[in-house]
Amino acid sequence: MAKITYVTHDNQSHTIDVDNGLTVMEGAVQNDIPGIDADCGGGMACATCHVYVKEDWLDKLPKKEDGEEDMLDMAFEPKKNSRLSCQLIVSDGLDGLIVNIPSKQG
């Protein structure tokens, strides 16, 4: 289990306990956190679960697989700290992770 903090575009902060094995995307969707659409349901095929990861977390996260950066090309306002939240699998190591949700997914 890990405490994940989702900060929405209007600066509302939601801290949720997310079970290990779920993705950061699923943690948001299952808890009705607005701003993560996840249209394709976690298939790394739509770039609508895009989040910005707090800088100090960037190196601690699982590395991007082939294809994630390609999908981020299509995301709304991608930045250096952009990730697809469906590719971030929750483990104890992610406890305290903070992600910012962009103003739009597309």
For residue 26, the surrounding DSSP H or E stretch is: helix 24-30
CA proximity to 25, closest of 78, 99, 79: 99
Closest approach, Cβ 17 to other proteins, in A, equals: 22
E runs forming strands in the chain: 2-7, 13-18, 50-53, 82-84, 98-100
Q: Could you say which DSSP state residue 101 is in?
A: P
Distance in Å, CB of 68 to other proteins, minimum: 11
Q: Which residues bind other proteins (CB under 8 A)?
A: 37, 39-41, 43, 45-48, 69-70, 73-74, 76-78, 80, 104-106
CB nearer other proteins, residue 2 or residue 71: 71
User: Please, which residue, 26 or 97, has the CB nearer to other proteins?
Assistant: 26
Q: How far is the CB of 32 from other proteins (least distance, A)?
A: 8
